[in-house]
Chain A
Amino acid sequence: MKRFLLACLLAAPIATVNAEPEDPWLVLQKAAQAAHDLSYKGVFVYQSGENVKSVQVTHMNYGQGEYARVVVLDGTPREMLSQGSDVVIFSPKNEKVIMEKRRAHNLFPAVLPNTIENIKVSYKARIGGVERVAGRDGRVVFLDPKDRLRYAYKFWADREYGLLLKSLMLNEQNQMLEQMTFSQVDMIENQDMDWFHPNVDHGKNYILEEAIAQPAQEASEWTVGALPAGYRKIQQVTRLVPGKQSPVTQVIFTDGLASVSLFIEPLVKGTRPRIGQTAKGATNFYANVTNGYQILVVGEVPSTTVAQIGSAVSFKK
């Protein structure tokens, strides 16, 4: 009897683990960490509307920090090198190569926020089946918006390493807006750093673009009132926009996954004001003119969201 009870006790937890489906949030959390912690190399296909590009990514982290190199394989040979949170982008333009310095972006497969908690308020996660991507088994996780203020996502996470194999963004009609999917991915076994350098074209001039955005104080003339649910302000800068003589204020909002930029600038005489709404692929635009200011909202979010953010701007009398 005692032996039987012991057997039951031992078997019980194992049985529970097997029966219980995986927690989708844990799968996403693991995927977010894996993208930063693991060393991997692969080629993924980026697709947005009619644009399709193959991109090579090499990422290394052996406890000395993150190093990555990303090379666009189709069309203009853009490439990007990053060390920690510093990024340099090399883009050839005619006889020049422009070098841009940026803060780190979330680049595939590192598209999920480090703190998954931030997206729990706005999205519901649901576990799906197992599908094969790039020759590997991927666990499907659906991320559905709780309202109509953001798009839906579907992720495939490697069952062994946790790394995202594929990411898909869908609109309300379940149509693909943006997709990134590995066609091949391997773990890097050695610590060789030979790959960490740009491909230098000696026939071209390398030009470092000056920093065009400066952190900005709160503006005194206007405020942004009630934001759409789940969105919060993360950055405010004054920056130059090509073709504009005076700096423009840019405020960036995010719900943890999607991001929206609000541009505000005083209307200059002779400049044609813009109004209305439009869309291009996953990006929605909203423009309005109030109190002599041009307001422009741009983001990979539904049209309702850009309009709500644009309308939230109020001017102090």
Chain B
Amino acid sequence: MKSQISALIDADIALEDAEYLYTTLKSGGDSSEAWATYHLIGDAMRGNPVFKPDFTERLMAQLEAEPVVLVPAAARKQSLLRSNRVWSVAASVAAVAFVGWVVLQQQIQADADDTASPMEIAQSLPADYLLAHQSLASSNSAYYIQPANYSE
């Protein structure tokens, strides 16, 4: 199933041949999460901006633009399901923002404990700056392999 979703996103499977995939996706659960993950990775690979202020609107527009297999009798149920999907996306965006906020708060607190007297740099290695250096300086193989923050 997941490989089929991947193929669908890469346009390796024609949309017409994938009706059953859509049906499964609309039923929610595991498959639609996989769908979201693949889209996010695909966006990152193609260089599309993600998590910009208009992220939710953009995603809603994309969902809106996606072809929907309409069966007249099921029309009502469908629109309801669709709005559910949008809500679950909104929830994950909010969750990400929350995690980011918590991490930031912890770091700010750690900083606030410092006093104003100068400290020898040897006493505490500025790992954050080492990581910042590694991530931008082009000669750093270490960044991919053994970045400062990930040392085990």
Q: Which of B18-26, B66-74, B103-111 contacts A (4 or more CB under 8 A)?
A: B103-111
**Cβ–Cβ < 8 Å partners of B43 in chain A:** 208
**Cβ–Cβ < 8 Å partners of B114 in chain A:** 270-272
Chain B 102-133 interface 0/1 with A at a Cβ cutoff of 8 Å (1 = within): 00000110111011111111100110111111
The answer to whether B47 touches A101, judged by C-beta atoms less than 8 angstroms apart, is yes
Q: Does B37 interact with chain A (Cβ within 8 Å)? A: yes
The answer to whether A99 touches B121, judged by C-beta atoms less than 8 angstroms apart, is no
Q: How far is the CA of A241 from the CA of B104 in the complex (A)?
A: 11
Minimum CB–CB distance from A34 to chain B (whole Å) comes to: 17
B127-152 residues with Cβ-Cβ distance < 8 A to A are 128-133, 135-147, 150-152
The answer to whether B129 touches A296, judged by C-beta atoms less than 8 angstroms apart, is yes
B21-56 residues with Cβ-Cβ distance < 8 A to A are 30, 33-34, 37-38, 40-41, 43-45, 47, 50-51
From known contacts A106-B139, A208-B51, infer whether A241 and B37 are also in contact, taking CB-CB under 8 Å. no
The answer to whether B144 touches A70, judged by C-beta atoms less than 8 angstroms apart, is yes
Q: How far is the CA of A96 from the CA of B138 in the complex (A)?
A: 26
The answer to whether A280 touches B150, judged by C-beta atoms less than 8 angstroms apart, is no
**Cβ–Cβ < 8 Å partners of B41 in chain A:** 99, 198, 200, 206
Which secondary structure characterizes the binding site on chain B? Answer: helix
**Cβ–Cβ < 8 Å partners of A252 in chain B:** 136-137
The answer to whether A111 touches B119, judged by C-beta atoms less than 8 angstroms apart, is no
Q: Which of A21-29, A85-93, A137-145 contacts B (4 or more CB under 8 A)?
A: A85-93
The answer to whether A48 touches B142, judged by C-beta atoms less than 8 angstroms apart, is yes
The answer to whether B138 touches A106, judged by C-beta atoms less than 8 angstroms apart, is yes
The answer to whether A250 touches B144, judged by C-beta atoms less than 8 angstroms apart, is no
Q: How far is the CA of A102 from the CA of B47 in the complex (A)?
A: 10
Tell me the count of chain B residues lying within 8 A, CB to CB, of chain A: 57
Q: Which of A4-12, A58-66, A124-132, A255-263 contacts B (4 or more CB under 8 A)?
A: A255-263
Q: Does A46 interact with chain B (Cβ within 8 Å)? A: yes
**Cβ–Cβ < 8 Å partners of B115 in chain A:** 270, 272
Chain A 37-81 interface 0/1 with B at a Cβ cutoff of 8 Å (1 = within): 000000000101001010100000000000000101001101011
The answer to whether A258 touches B139, judged by C-beta atoms less than 8 angstroms apart, is yes
Minimum CB–CB distance from B20 to chain A (whole Å) comes to: 19
Which one, A107, A208, A258, contacts B144 given CB within 8 A?
Answer: A107
Minimum CB–CB distance from A268 to chain B (whole Å) comes to: 9
- The contact size tier of chain A is 35 or more
The answer to whether B137 touches A259, judged by C-beta atoms less than 8 angstroms apart, is yes
Q: Does A123 interact with chain B (Cβ within 8 Å)? A: no
Q: Does B92 interact with chain A (Cβ within 8 Å)? A: yes
From known contacts A106-B138, A243-B107, A296-B126, infer whether A206 and B120 are also in contact, taking CB-CB under 8 Å. no
Closest to A105 in B: B138
From known contacts A78-B144, A263-B132, A298-B130, infer whether A277 and B139 are also in contact, taking CB-CB under 8 Å. no
Q: Does A205 interact with chain B (Cβ within 8 Å)? A: yes
Which one, A270, A275, A299, contacts B121 given CB within 8 A?
Answer: A275
Q: Does A171 interact with chain B (Cβ within 8 Å)? A: no
Minimum CB–CB distance from A75 to chain B (whole Å) comes to: 5
The answer to whether A111 touches B116, judged by C-beta atoms less than 8 angstroms apart, is no
**Cβ–Cβ < 8 Å partners of A207 in chain B:** 96
Q: Does A213 interact with chain B (Cβ within 8 Å)? A: yes
Q: Which of A155-163, A181-189, A219-227, A283-291 contacts B (4 or more CB under 8 A)?
A: A283-291
Chain A 197-219 interface 0/1 with B at a Cβ cutoff of 8 Å (1 = within): 11010100111101001000000
The answer to whether B44 touches A270, judged by C-beta atoms less than 8 angstroms apart, is no
Which one, B108, B130, B151, contacts A283 given CB within 8 A?
Answer: B130
The answer to whether B44 touches A205, judged by C-beta atoms less than 8 angstroms apart, is no
The answer to whether B142 touches A275, judged by C-beta atoms less than 8 angstroms apart, is no
The answer to whether A270 touches B116, judged by C-beta atoms less than 8 angstroms apart, is yes
Minimum CB–CB distance from A241 to chain B (whole Å) comes to: 5
26 pairs, A vs B, C-beta closer than 8 Å = A55-B144, A72-B144, A78-B150, A99-B40, A100-B135, A105-B141, A105-B144, A111-B139, A198-B41, A200-B37, A208-B43, A235-B136, A241-B128, A241-B132, A250-B132, A269-B116, A271-B111, A272-B119, A273-B116, A274-B126, A280-B125, A296-B121, A298-B126, A298-B129, A299-B137, A300-B139
